Amino acid sequence: MEILNILFVVAILLYSSYSAITYISRRRQNKSQLRDFHAKSQPTRKLSEEEHALVQPFLVSPSHPNKPAQLKDQNVYLLEGEFISHGISYGNGAKTLHDTIAGVDVLLPYDARSFIGRFTSAEVVFTDKYAIVISIEDHFNLAEGKKRLHAQQVSHQQWEYGEEGQIADMENSTLTERNILGGGGAELAKEMRQVRILSQREETNSEIIARKTPGFGIIASLLLLCAYAALIYGATNGSEMLWLAVSSIFTIVAIYLIWRPRVASKPEKVNEVEGTLNLVQIQDPANTALVHTQLFLGDKIPLQLPDSWLAHIRLAPDSVVKLALRVSDYSVLSFNKTFSVDNEVRRFPLIFWGKHLTIAIVGAGMVLFMIFVNDEIKSDITQVQSVLASNKQYQSDSASNTLKHPPTLGSMVELNTQVRCTVDDSLNQQPGEINCGKLRWGGRALAPRTVSVDAALLAFYDGSAIQSEKNHQASLMLQMRQMSLSGRYDPYVAPPSIYNITNLSALVIGIEEQCAANKSALQEACSKLKNLMGEELVVDASNEAIGWEKLLAQSIKDAASGEHIALLRESTLISLRSAARSIAEAQIHDSYKQAFLQLQQGQQGAVILNVDPGQANQIKQASLGLKTLSIENEGDAAAPALLDEIRGDWLKSWEAYGRIAQADNLQALRVKGLLVGMEQAKNGDLILELDPYRTPDNVMRAVLAVVALLLGLLLMLVHGTCWGVNIWRANKRAKAINLYYAQQASANSRF
- The full DSSP string for 622-672 is HHTTPPPP-SS-GGGGHHHHHHHHHTT-HHHHHHHHHHHHSGGG-EEEEEE
Residue-wise pLDDT tens digits, 681-704: 887 888 888 877 777 777 888 889
Give a yes or no: residue 432 inside a domain: yes
Mean pLDDT of 404-414: 84
> Residues 609, 503: one domain?
no
> Residues 496, 418: one domain?
no
Give a yes or no: residue 735 inside a domain: no
> Residues 586, 476: one domain?
yes
Residue-wise pLDDT tens digits, 324-351: 999 988 889 998 878 898 898 899 998 8
**Residue 178 pLDDT exceeds 50:** no
Mean pLDDT of 566-582: 81
Residue-wise pLDDT tens digits, 88-131: 777 666 677 888 888 888 888 988 888 888 888 999 999 888 88
**CB neighbours of residue 389 within 10 Å:** 11
Mean pLDDT of 17-42: 84
The pLDDT score that the predictor gives to residue 179 is 46
**Residue 377 pLDDT exceeds 80:** yes
Q: Confidence class of residue 226 from pLDDT cuts 50, 70 and 90? A: very high
Of the two residues 388 and 355, the one the predictor is more confident about is 355
**CB neighbours of residue 746 within 10 Å:** 10
Residue-wise pLDDT tens digits, 639-656: 455 555 566 677 777 778
**Cα(133)–Cα(140) distance, rounded to whole angstroms?**
9
Residue that finishes a domain, picked among 667, 691, 715: 691
> Residues 495, 512: one domain?
yes
Give a yes or no: residue 259 inside a domain: no
Q: For residue 123, which phi and psi values (nearest 5 degrees)?
A: -90, 135
Residue that finishes a domain, picked among 155, 173, 198: 155
Compute the mean pLDDT over every residue in the chain, rounded to the nearest whole number.
80
Q: Give the structural domain span for 463.
A: 455-597
**Residue 520 pLDDT exceeds 60:** yes
> Residues 618, 548: one domain?
no
Mean pLDDT of 277-300: 71
The pLDDT score that the predictor gives to residue 650 is 74
Among left, alpha and beta (phi > 0; psi -120 to 50; other), residue 298 is left
Of the two residues 590 and 317, the one the predictor is more confident about is 590
The pLDDT score that the predictor gives to residue 176 is 44
Of the two residues 335 and 175, the one the predictor is more confident about is 335
Give a yes or no: residue 88 inside a domain: yes
> Residues 67, 149: one domain?
yes
**Cα(645)–Cα(312) distance, rounded to whole angstroms?**
89
**Residue 148 pLDDT exceeds 80:** yes
**Residue 751 pLDDT exceeds 60:** no
The pLDDT score that the predictor gives to residue 486 is 66
The pLDDT score that the predictor gives to residue 1 is 54
Mean pLDDT of 179-190: 47
Mean pLDDT of 570-576: 82
The pLDDT score that the predictor gives to residue 288 is 59
Give a yes or no: residue 200 inside a domain: no
Give a yes or no: residue 78 inside a domain: yes
Residue-wise pLDDT tens digits, 132-147: 999 998 888 888 888 8
pTM for this structure? 0.65
Mean pLDDT is lowest, of 244-248, 473-477, 537-541, for 537-541
The pLDDT score that the predictor gives to residue 159 is 87
> Residues 591, 487: one domain?
yes
Give a yes or no: residue 161 inside a domain: no
**Residue 449 pLDDT exceeds 70:** yes
Mean pLDDT of 568-593: 80
The pLDDT score that the predictor gives to residue 632 is 37
**Cα(291)–Cα(4) distance, rounded to whole angstroms?**
47
> Residues 488, 425: one domain?
no
Residue that finishes a domain, picked among 123, 155, 187: 155
> Residues 590, 675: one domain?
no
**Domain tally for the chain?**
3
**Residue 263 pLDDT exceeds 90:** no
The pLDDT score that the predictor gives to residue 561 is 63
Q: CA of 490: how far to CAs of 261, 484, 485, in Å? A: 88, 12, 12
The pLDDT score that the predictor gives to residue 358 is 93
> Residues 521, 563: one domain?
yes
**Cα(464)–Cα(577) distance, rounded to whole angstroms?**
9
The pLDDT score that the predictor gives to residue 220 is 92
Give a yes or no: residue 526 inside a domain: yes
The pLDDT score that the predictor gives to residue 657 is 79
**Residue 414 pLDDT exceeds 90:** no
Q: Confidence class of residue 542 from pLDDT cuts 50, 70 and 90? A: low
Residue-wise pLDDT tens digits, 33-83: 888 888 888 889 998 888 888 888 888 877 677 778 888 888 999 998 888
The pLDDT score that the predictor gives to residue 475 is 73
**Cα(325)–Cα(154) distance, rounded to whole angstroms?**
19
**Residue 394 pLDDT exceeds 80:** yes
Q: Confidence class of residue 184 from pLDDT cuts 50, 70 and 90? A: very low
Mean pLDDT of 595-601: 78
> Residues 557, 653: one domain?
no
**Residue 714 pLDDT exceeds 90:** yes
> Residues 487, 588: one domain?
yes
List, as own/partner pairs, every contact residues 433-438 make where C-beta atoms lie below 8 angstroms and the sequence separation is at least 24, other chains included. Answer: 433/647, 434/620, 434/623, 434/624, 434/646, 434/653, 434/656, 434/657, 434/660, 435/616, 436/611, 436/616, 436/617, 436/619, 436/620, 436/623, 437/610, 437/611, 437/612, 437/613, 437/616, 438/608, 438/609, 438/610
The pLDDT score that the predictor gives to residue 749 is 57
237: exposed, middle or buried (Cβ count in 10 Å: 0-12, 13-18, 19+): exposed
